[in-house]
Amino acid sequence: MAEPPHILHVHGSFSLGGKEARAVRLMNIWGDRARHSIMSADPAAMSARDAIDPAMDVRYPAGPSFAGKPGLARYREIRAFLKGFDLVLTYNWGAMDAVMAHRLGGGAAYGLPPLIHHEDGFNADEAERLKTKRNLFRRVALQRAHGLVVPSVRLESIARQVWRQPAEKLHLIRNGIDVARYGEPPAPEAIPGLVRTPGKLLVGTLAGLRAVKNIPRLVRAVAANKDRLQLVVVGEGPERDAIMAEAAAQGLDDIHMAGFLDRPWRFVGLFDIFALSSDSEQFPISLVEAMAAGLPVASMDVGDVAHMVAPENRAFVMRNEQGLAQALGQLADDADLRARLGVANRARAARDFAEETMVNAYASLYGEALASPMILR
């Protein structure tokens, strides 16, 4: 019997965030139907590996660096490494050197495995404006990719108009989750160390603690309502100290930094309000998780967020920090409003963001690239 296909995943960072959670979820669902190797351009950023089923055949090989200045010698080394796999999956700008190495090596037509690139959004340095040099780099690098996957309508438009990707190569696959699981009662002790302050509501957020997530903005918005709100931040990353410094500067004592927690369905429902304060997003999985748990949402107007939440909740998707603070205050004041928005958001998640739809779309795309359409089904 032939061995299952060996899939290489190349990430700029493998700290647990939305794209990493999705990649891990797909691996866990497909089980022994595929073998996996994972590389991170930042070798220290590997916390998402903790969410992988320990029974899985997953490796973390020594290999070429995927970070550094572009250069033909680096690309030759990367290209030689790629040849050891059946399919290469790359994620975001941090993995684009692998895409360029594949492109310069001639792609699948010259003995390299098919490569599918995934773009889920932008880091802080492109949150306000895309960089011209990066746009040109992407345009060239993606020429021999088998496909490009995006989760949002906005990214689909950028891929078509700016990166000039042909329609037949471009795949819009919306992120999905197991909505039913989030409808179960949360585990009361699922957030270690959390002590609720009597008389206050819990505002929660899930994020890799990177600058683009702008958690200090959320700290200030909660601080503007600190007589009524308590903040819980779930996630890890380099911005932790900056977040705590902002909380101290704002006099916000009611903040709990929970660190990385897996199995979000166990704790998301403990929040009273979900908040998203990012400078840039496309289709955040954490938002879908909050909706599935029946939470009202206060968010910045980024990516597809305004089109993801239920229509009733769109008035709480705000353009600036002052609006975010006002949205939190309005939600804190009205329990009936919170309940109505939560019910509407859960219904929207169940209708539009089912995990099965997402899993089938990825299985079809990857199977077609592997010339074995049913191999992941």
* pLDDT at residue 329 is higher than 90: yes
Domain CATH code at residue 282: 3.40.50.2000
Low-confidence winner among 47-51, 106-110, 250-254 (lowest mean pLDDT): 106-110
Confidence of residue 121 (pLDDT cuts 50, 70, 90): confident
Indicate whether 196 and 119 sit together in one domain. no
Number of domains in the chain: 2
Give the closest residue to 282 by CA, choosing from 146, 139, 173, 136. Answer: 173
Residue 377 lies in a domain: no
Residues 165 and 242 in one domain: no
What average pLDDT does the segment 103-130 reach? 88
Claim to verify: residue 184 and residue 83 sit in the same structural domain: no
Instruction: Verify that 113 and 60 share a domain, yes or no.
Output: yes
Name the DSSP class of 354.
B
Q: Are residues 154 and 230 in the same domain?
A: no
Same domain membership, residue 21 and residue 154: yes
pLDDT > 70 fraction of the chain, expressed in percent and rounded: 99
pLDDT at 125: 77
Domain presence at residue 231:
yes
How many CB atoms neighbour CB 356 within 10 A?
A: 11
Q: How far is CA 145 from CA 14, 110, 319, 330, 333, in A?
A: 22, 13, 36, 47, 51
Instruction: Say what the pLDDT of residue 1 is.
Output: 43
Is residue 135's pLDDT more than 60?
Answer: yes
Q: What is the mean pLDDT of residues 332-342?
A: 98
User: Within this chain, do residues 55 and 72 fall inside the same structural domain, yes or no?
Assistant: yes
- For residue 114, pLDDT over 80 is answered with yes
pLDDT value, residue 74: 95
Residue 374 lies in a domain: no
Confidence at residue 127, expressed as pLDDT on a 0 to 100 scale: 67
Q: How far apart are CA 215 and CA 210, in angstroms?
A: 8
375 within a domain of the structure (yes/no)? no
> Are both 231 and 284 inside the same structural domain?
yes
Strand order in the sheet with 317-318: 255-259, 229-234, 201-206, 273-276, 297-300, 317-318
Residue 224 domain boundaries:
179-352
Q: Look at residue 16 and tell me whether its pLDDT is greater than 90.
A: no
User: Are 41 and 141 found together in one domain?
Assistant: yes
Would 1 be classed as within a structural domain? no
Distances in whole angstroms, Cα of residue 283 to Cα of each of 18, 34, 54, 80, 301: 9, 26, 28, 34, 12
> 58 and 131: one domain?
yes
Question: If you average pLDDT over residues 322-339, what whole number do you get?
Answer: 98
Residue pLDDT, tens place only, 136-191: 999 999 999 999 999 988 899 999 999 999 999 999 999 999 999 999 999 999 99
Q: Are 316 and 233 within one domain?
A: yes
Radius of gyration of the chain (CA): 21
Q: pLDDT tens-digit profile of 255-268? A: 999 999 989 999 99
Domain-located, residue 158: yes
In a domain, 232, yes or no: yes
Residue 215 burial by CB count (10 A; 0-12/13-18/19+): exposed, middle or buried? Answer: buried
Classify residue 139: in a domain, yes or no. Answer: yes
Q: Do residue 192 and residue 131 come from a single domain?
A: no
Residue type, 330: Q
